[in-house]
DNA sequence: AGTGAATATATTGGTTGGCAATAGGTAGCA
DNA sequence: TGCTACCTATTGCCAACCAATATATTCACT
């Protein structure tokens, strides 16, 4: 996977892995890696600024958790975050449809064929 | 569609619309727009530098065509361009699979869990 | 003849955002 | 003692898409 691959889609990834429950930064990295089958390896310089930004935007809440001397900062979705996640999923659909239609016009015409198994939203 | 939408995928788009045959810059813009159902509106400041870059890379050939006083610069795929296009399509598949698996884990399992090459943590 | 829209190419400068590099720390094991 | 994994965080780089701008032709309409 080329560098800069997730550009423009990072927010959706972060919100999505936080959907099932709170995670700390390091766990977010491994969660994205596992969910993507190893294809996506985010860096700390990528996610920490992004998590801060999402928190500033009110899409996440963070809280420190102490395990002995160990400190973890756990992030969880806010209601606004869940709504934004839904929007990101819609945007992702539109994005892949648009690019796919240009890249593979024969197999992915802009107007949907009858067999799409994924009902919108 | 937000600005910067095609970031990282522009090359594939350009190569793809040139696959059926040569086009000039302006026609490329309208071709992408039509193929995407109006979702993708590329700017001249986006495609002309990109076309020059692709030509420098040997993926395109360009030639001036005169229609009376009108000058058009037509671009067409080279053999290397066709090979690169095939690679871009593969990369697009992998990209959408990876992001999709993170964004919608239920409907898009990452990979067969039978053979995880990653030694457990 | 004049106006406007569409056709057509090209460059400049700005912004954005993921990433490499770097830095600091805890914990467990050989 | 060193190594590895775990964990958070910041800085600066730079690729690349885009808005704005410049220039020119062609055609429909008035």
Q: What is the pLDDT of residues A58-89, one digit of tens each?
A: 999 999 998 777 899 999 999 999 999 999 99
A17/A84 Cα distance (integer angstroms): 13
User: What pLDDT was estimated at residue A76?
Assistant: 97
Q: Is A77 helix (H, G, I), strand (E, B) or coil?
A: strand
Average pLDDT over residues A2-31: 95
Given B91, B96, B104, which is nearest A89 (Cβ)? B104
Give the residue extent of every domain in chain B. 3-91
Q: Which two tokens stand for residue A38?
A: 């190893």
Q: What is the pLDDT of residues B57-105, one digit of tens each?
A: 999 999 999 877 788 999 999 999 999 999 999 999 999 999 999 999 8
**CB A93 within 8 Å of CB B99:** no
**Where would I find the beta strands (DSSP E) of A43-95?**
60-67, 70-77
pLDDT of B114 > 50? The answer is: no
Average pLDDT over residues B18-38: 97
Task: Work out how many CB contacts closer than 8 A connect A with B.
Answer: 105
SS3 string of chain B?
A: CCCCCCCCCHHHHHHHHCCCCCEEHHHHHHHHHHHCCCCCCCCHHHHHHHHHHHHHCCCEEEEEEEECCEEEEEEEECHHHHHHHHHHHHHHHHHHHHHHHHHCCCCCCCCCHHHCCCCCC
**Chain B residues touching A8 at Cβ < 8 A:** 2, 4-5, 7-8
Q: What kind and span of H or E run contains A86? A: helix A79-103
Q: Do B36 and A12 touch (CB under 8 A)?
A: no
pLDDT of B120 > 90? The answer is: no
Average pLDDT over residues A109-117: 39
**CATH of segment(s) A3-91:** 1.10.10.10
pLDDT of B116 > 90? The answer is: no
User: What pLDDT was estimated at residue A5?
Assistant: 86
pLDDT of A112 > 80? The answer is: no
Buried b (16+ CB within 10 A) or exposed e, A12-27: bbbbbbbeeeebbbee
Residue with minimal CA–C1' distance to C11 is: B45
User: What pLDDT was estimated at residue A110?
Assistant: 47
> What percentage of chain B exceeds 90 in pLDDT?
77
**Where would I find the beta strands (DSSP E) of A14-121?**
23-24, 60-67, 70-77
pLDDT of A114 > 80? The answer is: no
Model confidence band, residue A107 (pLDDT cutoffs 50, 70, 90): low
Chain A segment 51-80 residues within 8 A of B by beta carbon are: none
């Amino acid at each position: 996977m080329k560098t800069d691959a997730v550009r423009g889609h990072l927010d959706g990834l972060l919100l999505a892995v936080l959907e099932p429950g709170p995670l700390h930064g390091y766990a977010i990295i491994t969660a994205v890696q596992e969910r993507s089958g190893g294809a996506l390896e985010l860096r700390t310089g990528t996610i920490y600024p992004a998590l801060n930004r999402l928190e500033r935007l009110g899409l996440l809440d963070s809280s420190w958790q102490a395990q002995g001397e160990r400190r973890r900062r756990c992030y969880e979705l806010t209601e606004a975050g869940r709504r934004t996640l839904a929007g990101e999923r819609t945007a992702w659909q539109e994005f892949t449809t648009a690019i796919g239609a240009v890249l593979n016009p024969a197999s992915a015409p802009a107007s949907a064929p009858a067999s799409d198994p994924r009902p919108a939203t």
